Structure 1
């Protein structure tokens, strides 16, 4: 049984020590979405590629981001 690109992406979010290539291969399969789709509050999360920013986000207790419009965003909620 094959999985959709969306299912593949969700599976990546549960793994750690990913390579940029693994993430890019799945990300490249995802369909584009309209900016208006983002207008709401989102919970934070990271795709773990061992990038130093991952530990930074964890250390500041990153909670997510809020999009009030396509031009008005709180990029980091802690």
Structure 2
């Protein structure tokens, strides 16, 4: 008789990172039950250094439209104490 390993149901569940990527690939207003950020593993602040492309995750927050109006495209982390959270494009046609 062949014996197969017992695989936990959790094995088939997407990782928190894959869940987050799924949210970015399927835009729509998120429900209050989505707590993806609480499931993500923490990272060391040094891993944030540099320029980051931004993505507006549709949650229904009124500032989402403002980010588009401002031509927001990301953030820059020069150090843990020097962060530019709103980098915008100029002269966009």
TM-score, normalised on structure 1?
0.87
Task: Extract unaligned runs of 5+ from structure 1.
Answer: none
Residue 46 of structure 1: how far off its partner (Å): 1.8
Cα distance change of structure 1 residues 46 and 20 upon mapping to structure 2, 3 Å threshold:
farther
- 1:1-78 matched pairs, under 5 angstroms: 1-14=12-25, 15-22=27-34, 24=35, 26-78=36-88
Structure 1 ranges of 4+ moved more than 6 A: none
Distance 2:55 2:32 in 1: 16
Q: Secondary structure at the match of 2:72?
A: coil
Q: 1 or 2 for the larger relative contact order (CA 8 Å, sep ≥6)? A: 1
Structure with greater helix percent: 1
TM-score in terms of structure 2 length: 0.75
Pairs aligned (count): 76
